[in-house]
Structure 1
Amino acid sequence: MLVADIIAALPLERALPEPLFRQLYAAMKAAILDGTLAPGTQLPPTRAFCALLSVSRQTVLNAYALLAAEGYLDGAVGRGTFVSRAVPVPKAAAAATGLLRPLSARGQDVVAAMQQVAFHRSALRAFRVGMPRIDHFPFDVWNRLEARRWRRPDHQFGYSDPAGFLPLRELLCVYLQASRGVRCTPQQIVITSGSQQALFLLSTILLSPGDAAWMESPGYRGASGPLRASGARVFPVPVDGEGLDVAYGVAHCPQAKLAYVTPSHQMPLGVSMSLARRLSLLDWAARNKAWVVEDDYDSEYRYAGAPLASLQSLDRAGCVIYVGTLSKVLFPGLRLGYMVAPPALADALVQAKAVADRHTAIVPQMALADFIAEGHFARHIRRTRDSNAERRDVLLRALAQELDDQLACGPADSGLELCAYFRGAHDEDSVSRAGIERGIELRPLGHYADPDAGPACATPAGLLLGFAAIKPDEIGHGVRVLGQLLRGR
């Protein structure tokens, strides 16, 4: 193709707000880099160039100047303008992705680690799990608190403490001591970008590749992902009516360096770890110098009595790291969580946090501190707990009326979801797929089972049904659809 034809074909859009010389610069740069304008090619004189594209000479001169400054063009008065010979000749693109530079082994582990985690990709519908009631949140109050902070910027709007906004950590310390019995100082608290970041940081700095880690099975897949990404060997430990079977873990994998547990409200079965199991777990961790990660993801929502005391409150050996999230209490988009570390570990976690993202966004932390200090946090929890309890009752009544012969409900005294076991022979995955086709979400309990777990970790077939974010009439509709599915209608 002649150079004049190449120039005439350069794409310029006169209706765009971007100046024509910037468009011309970008088009010529692309043509040079992909080899359409080869190194050493002489460009037409500027006046001829203008005629080919119907642009002003100044447009061409400005584009030439940018290209020359970046090394794409060479030229001198009286000699002409050329595509620089220093621009490398482009090689043919790889025919298949397999020829591209591969990820490192660690990179492949990180990418693969969360592939089994289900993400919400559609509009809210019954019975979505892991979702709080967002329309209950006082966004008008939150907007006012954030706006007030934006109106009064100070030195804290620069780079701040990786551990988090100190007034927020002080307020969380008081709250956790009062509500969960957590024994800590503000210096032990590290603010994170959600509990998922906390789990990733802990997996990264506490485990070496090949180290074993206990993981509840069935359990939260979002926790097993970071463990696998760190190169740890995840060892599934069964869960029964008393929580994690510590004796099984001790008998089959006593050398584990870490145990991940959800003792207050096990995910997904909803059971609480018994005192005997808690003490046994802490004894094993102390004797073996292992770590225990306590994920307390939704303990605020207990509907029968006060929230249970944390596992951390029983720890006397400094082996429990308490992980909390505000996604379930406020709203997931906030992306705020926290860790309460043993004093000896706190500084290391702060440094690890600094490596990950320097510090979590400061204005949401400030707004949350004000939200707690002014009493909005406590009021919101009380109101949301009442709302959740009402919707839980709607679900329980509907299941009892419509599906008592089909489903047996698990513990229902806390949380945002209800575990329901099939009374008859049903295939979880088939029921779940049919539910999607009929407009409802049904999460199989098998989704939470470790694929490498043996028969000891087998869980009865069933579903996890979320209710907190679902309106009562939609809960009723969802139960009726589920009944039709289970009865083959």
Structure 2
Amino acid sequence: MQTSVPSLSALDPASSEPIYRQLYWRFREAINAGLLKPGDRVPAARALAKELGLARGTIDNAYSLLTSEGYLVACGQAGTRVADGISGTSSSPPASAVAQAAPHQAIRQQSAVLPFQMGVPALDAFPRKIWAQIGARCVRGTQPQDMANPSVYGLQALRAAIATYLQVARGIACSPAQVFVTAGYRETLSLITHTLLKPADRVLVEDPGYPPTRRLLQSLHITPVAVPVDQDGLRVSAALEIGHNARAAVVTPAHQSPLCVSLSLPRRLALLEWASQQNAWIVEDDYDGEYRYVSRPLPALKSLDREGRVLYSGTFSKVLFPGMRLAYVVVPAALVERFEESCKTFQGGCPELNQAIVATFMAEGHFGRHIQRMRKLYSERRAMAVNGLKSVLGERIHIDANPGGMHLILRLNASCADSLMVQRMREAGLFAEALSEWHQGTDKPSGLLLGFANIDSLASAQALGQRILALM
């Protein structure tokens, strides 16, 4: 990376000292002060001459003097760099240098993925080489028109790829025009709310349920109404009692979040009947419906929708990686124009380069193969996590036998509150979420929510179990 040198603009043409000597002293001071470090590349002579409005020879003279004294070294095509082994006279860089360097250091600075981190797929198993090759092709093929503002609806190629995938994998018949690309689940839910609801409307939500759903609805002055969940999913009978004037319901039918139970077929049909009678909407959050380990993935609730009441929300965060920040919503055909108008108002559009990479990844068949590999891998890692934790923690815990998903529910048989255990684990560098904090009612079962997708061996699971045991 080419380094810009501070204070070069402070050259004094009226000084008795030649300009090349002034440049020499400024580079030397920058090196001694630690602003330029060993290995840093200095600006090319031609570029610096153009920037400062000087003759190329002036820059060459300054660089030659610095090279002869050992401050700089010519590295051929790698440019001219600060020589190794030079330590500045200052014990630490000036504050201005730290402030200047911090933004560059923070560009790729990310916090580490903690053990048991939820919502993070198996990053070690992602096909990065294939992804990089596709990314390079997409970058090389970029045209000037691709660099303009992105479509607020989403890249057409990606919308088409999503529609094709959903038809085959999830049983959802839709056209690309019904698919709208967003920057994540929260943006999807916000777009739906702005388009179909108004302040003071009531929306049914699952209890326990995903806390950000409740918080987002409340921030938009929508009232979330908690409906209990049991082993067959949302208790639709309870929803019928308390949801007679609700305008929508937000559900996770494939793997209820966080209990991972599936909404039974009778309840799916009853929920669709409720929506039809109440002229209400159903938001189906299918955040990881692909990952079911006891049988084939269940068809989406949207596939049973015959009256256009279901809006299907999907995401690439769980099946690719969360840093992608791409999600989508499939809306009923009758709502396409309303959503197009809302997108013009509320959406800024997602970077089309990312969308193009995902669209190519899907069109070339890598997406389907990746999901198949991950389904097998997660089944194996889930078993390793369960067996490893049980072998260490024994009777102190009970782990729910969930049919799918990417996290475990670890029930504590001791009297320790789950929130206290979460605090201890966070302080010890382990991730967990308290099941009680996902409940809205007064009767809040205790448990720990633990992601298992990045536990790569039985030994790793046992070692993590030992760390949990030490905190009990």
Using the size of structure 2 for normalisation, the TM-score is: 0.74
Deviation at 1:423, TM superposition (A): 2.8
Of 103, 110, 135, the match for 1:146? 135
Amino acid at match of 1:227: L
2:465 is aligned to 479
Deviation at 1:20, TM superposition (A): 4.5
2:233 is aligned to 243
Of 19, 28, 48, the match for 2:9? 19
Deviation at 1:373, TM superposition (A): 1.4
Q: Is the 8 A contact 1:212 1:232 kept in 2?
A: yes
2:412 is aligned to 422
Amino acid at match of 2:124: D
The answer to whether the aligner puts 1:270 opposite 2:255 as a matched pair is no
Deviation at 1:122, TM superposition (A): 4.3
Amino acid at match of 1:174: T
1:470 is aligned to 455
The answer to whether the aligner puts 1:351 opposite 2:341 as a matched pair is yes
2:117 is aligned to 128
Deviation at 1:153, TM superposition (A): 2.5
1:93 is aligned to none
Q: Is the 8 A contact 2:392 2:462 kept in 1?
A: no
Give me the whole-angstrom Cα distance separating, in 2, the residues matched to 1:188 and 1:376: 24
3-state secondary structure, aligned to 2:454: coil
Of 266, 286, 289, the match for 2:279? 289
Q: Is the 8 A contact 1:127 1:478 kept in 2?
A: no
3-state secondary structure, aligned to 2:471: helix
Of 156, 162, 165, the match for 1:172? 162
Of 386, 403, 420, the match for 1:413? 403
Give me the whole-angstrom Cα distance separating, in 1, the residues matched to 2:178 and 2:154: 11
1:279 is aligned to 269
Q: Is the 8 A contact 1:398 1:476 kept in 2?
A: yes
Amino acid at match of 2:392: E
* Worse-matched range after superposition: 253-262 or 347-356: 347-356
Give me the whole-angstrom Cα distance separating, in 1, the residues matched to 2:10 and 2:195: 52
The answer to whether the aligner puts 1:184 opposite 2:167 as a matched pair is no
Deviation at 1:289, TM superposition (A): 0.7
Amino acid at match of 1:441: F
1:31 is aligned to none
The answer to whether the aligner puts 1:387 opposite 2:377 as a matched pair is yes
% identical aligned pairs: 36
Classify 1:339/1:18 alpha carbon distance in 2 versus 1 (closer, same or farther; 3 Å): farther
Q: Is the 8 A contact 1:372 1:378 kept in 2?
A: yes
The answer to whether the aligner puts 1:335 opposite 2:335 as a matched pair is no
Amino acid at match of 2:122: R
1:257 is aligned to 247
Q: Is the 8 A contact 1:270 1:411 kept in 2?
A: no
Give me the whole-angstrom Cα distance separating, in 2, the residues matched to 1:281 and 1:150: 45
Aligned residues: 370
Q: Is the 8 A contact 1:418 1:466 kept in 2?
A: yes
Amino acid at match of 1:139: R
3-state secondary structure, aligned to 2:395: coil
The answer to whether the aligner puts 1:159 opposite 2:149 as a matched pair is yes
Q: Is the 8 A contact 2:150 2:351 kept in 1?
A: no
Give me the whole-angstrom Cα distance separating, in 2, the residues matched to 1:404 and 1:258: 43
3-state secondary structure, aligned to 2:448: strand
Classify 1:139/1:250 alpha carbon distance in 2 versus 1 (closer, same or farther; 3 Å): same
Alignment of 1:214-233 (within 5 A): 214-233=204-223
Deviation at 1:406, TM superposition (A): 2.1
3-state secondary structure, aligned to 2:290: coil
1:84 is aligned to none
1:313 is aligned to 303
Q: Is the 8 A contact 2:181 2:326 kept in 1?
A: yes
Q: Is the 8 A contact 1:203 1:226 kept in 2?
A: no
Amino acid at match of 1:243: G
3-state secondary structure, aligned to 1:329: coil
Amino acid at match of 2:465: V
Give me the whole-angstrom Cα distance separating, in 2, the residues matched to 1:405 and 1:413: 22
Q: Deviations over 1:77-124 (max 9, x none)?
A: xxxxxxxxxxxxxxxxxxxxxxxxxxxxxxxxxxxxxxxxxxxx8422
Give me the whole-angstrom Cα distance separating, in 1, the residues matched to 2:166 and 2:276: 23
Q: Is the 8 A contact 2:261 2:403 kept in 1?
A: no
3-state secondary structure, aligned to 1:385: helix
Deviation at 1:248, TM superposition (A): 1.3
3-state secondary structure, aligned to 1:19: helix
Q: Is the 8 A contact 2:391 2:462 kept in 1?
A: no
Give me the whole-angstrom Cα distance separating, in 1, the residues matched to 2:256 and 2:430: 24
Q: Deviations over 1:360-410 (max 9, x none)?
A: 211111111111111211221122222212210111112332334122222
Unaligned runs of 5+ in 1: 1-14, 22-120
Of 435, 443, 446, the match for 1:461? 446
Q: Is the 8 A contact 1:298 1:328 kept in 2?
A: yes
Deviation at 1:175, TM superposition (A): 1.0
The answer to whether the aligner puts 1:207 opposite 2:197 as a matched pair is yes
Q: Is the 8 A contact 1:162 1:351 kept in 2?
A: no
Deviation at 1:466, TM superposition (A): 0.7
Alignment of 1:95-134 (within 5 A): 122-134=111-123
Classify 1:420/1:291 alpha carbon distance in 2 versus 1 (closer, same or farther; 3 Å): same
- CA RMSD for the aligned pairs? 2.1
Q: Is the 8 A contact 2:385 2:455 kept in 1?
A: no
Q: Is the 8 A contact 1:160 1:362 kept in 2?
A: yes
Deviation at 1:327, TM superposition (A): 0.5
Classify 1:201/1:398 alpha carbon distance in 2 versus 1 (closer, same or farther; 3 Å): same
3-state secondary structure, aligned to 1:382: helix
Give me the whole-angstrom Cα distance separating, in 1, the residues matched to 2:354 and 2:253: 29
Give me the whole-angstrom Cα distance separating, in 2, the residues matched to 1:274 and 1:17: 69
Deviation at 1:226, TM superposition (A): 2.1
Deviation at 1:189, TM superposition (A): 0.7
Amino acid at match of 1:223: T
Deviation at 1:203, TM superposition (A): 1.8
Q: Is the 8 A contact 1:211 1:233 kept in 2?
A: yes
